[in-house]
Structure 1
Amino acid sequence: MLTGTNAFAFYYLPIFIFLNLFLLHGYAATCNITSSNPLSQNEILISPAHVFELGFSRPHNSTNQYVGILYKNIAPRTVVWVANRGNPVIDSLASLKIGSDGNLKLVDGNEVTLWSSNVSVRSNRSVAVLLDNGKFVLQDGLSGQWLWRSFENPGNTLLPGAGLGYNLETGCLLWSEELIDMQEFSSGGEELFIRLASSELAHGKLRVDVIISLTTVSCIIILGALVYGLCWQR
């Protein structure tokens, strides 16, 4: 029969451990980022159905940290988007927060901005949430309007609904390498630019029209040359 201190430990220690685990889990996982609820390095942002998570990650054999989105329950762990690809976190006090201007900001321990959503925001009441399709969005806290989306700057994994960055002046698509490969580059990451003709991104009908027109003109020129050659021989 248990008495005194032993009885207390036997009956209440499991409850104490359970409550601590519960509280730690609640502290480590959050559902949004607000001006009063930044994301620290020991926390993760989770999508509603626990499909994706966003947090601070460190590539293998690297001391640098990056804020990225990963599949939560799929092995191997796959990074689908990275915020600070070219500007890694090197201290332990960095956080992802809503700044005074309402933008998402990754700041170090000295409040130096390492990355920002950098969009026009009316107030600092904006909220950042992670959706079950892998999209990380900044919303107006009052209207719910999307102010910024991670899909506008996709990573190594092209998720459904995401788009490629396109420069109308240079005709370039932007595609970035995966976070896990960053340790191979001294700069902390590489960006791959693929140059395409503007017609490559045009609507299908326009592209078909261009091909038909070029084919028709080529046939006319060849036919004209043959007729001229036959007439000249006579």
Structure 2
Amino acid sequence: MIQLRLVPLAALAVFLSHPAGAAEVDARASYILTLGGINIAAMKVDLEDNGSRYTLDLSANVAGLGTLVASGTAKATSTGRSSGSSLLAEEFDLETRANGETFTVDVSFAGHDVSAFKVTPPIVDNYDRVPLERRHLTGVGDFLSAFVLKGNGLDRSLCQRQAKIFTGVERFNIAMSYAGDDEATSPRTGYQGPVVLCTVDYDPVSGHFTSSDITNYLADSDRIVIWYAPLGETGYFIPYRVLLGTDMGDLSMVLTEMRF
């Protein structure tokens, strides 16, 4: 069964961006997550930014899907500094609840380095888990703020990004590339208009299990795609849609509502 702590990774859902020096922003984006066309989760992402500090909050209610996805809840928060060309995380917290069990992650950052982290309950280091090394915890960011893309407009530069990410459990790299311009037209979604299409390449480094089907699939996949849309006139850009092809069907997240 897919554990809830993998939901943020599978969704690749929390990508918000704005240019440096932007006005104070209080925004919310709502999404529906489906697997093989069946609704499995509802997700909300809140962003607050006063021009120098930001808070990103993600909350998800997971309905589950038989033995494939566990039902429960997931919450994640990233806080830090928003000045400059990118968000700089200082704290990252994650909590998931499923099958009567709670899993939490707390990570602290000093600059781009991990200063402390705690996972409860601890991850068992089986023979097939790739060891985390101290050098893997430098020059990194958390999962949420690592996908915040500051840019000057809805163009190909939004997609030209690389990030080194530490989730508290795993260390991996993400490389994004521009794939083209598109138009969102469905009246059933929370936005209609121009979007930019980006592809995502996932490269596991450490902390993962070599026997993990999800990790291996993501590493081999060439179908991780994000469509970005503008968040009104705020200077922010959020994902209109996220698509991940899996052997169980497409894992898709679609914007259903946005407020700013």
Scaled to the shorter chain, the TM-score interval is under 0.3
- TM-score of the pair, normalised by structure 2: 0.23
- TM-score of the pair, normalised by structure 1: 0.25
Higher strand share: 2
**Greater RCO between the two (CA within 8 Å, min separation 6)?**
2
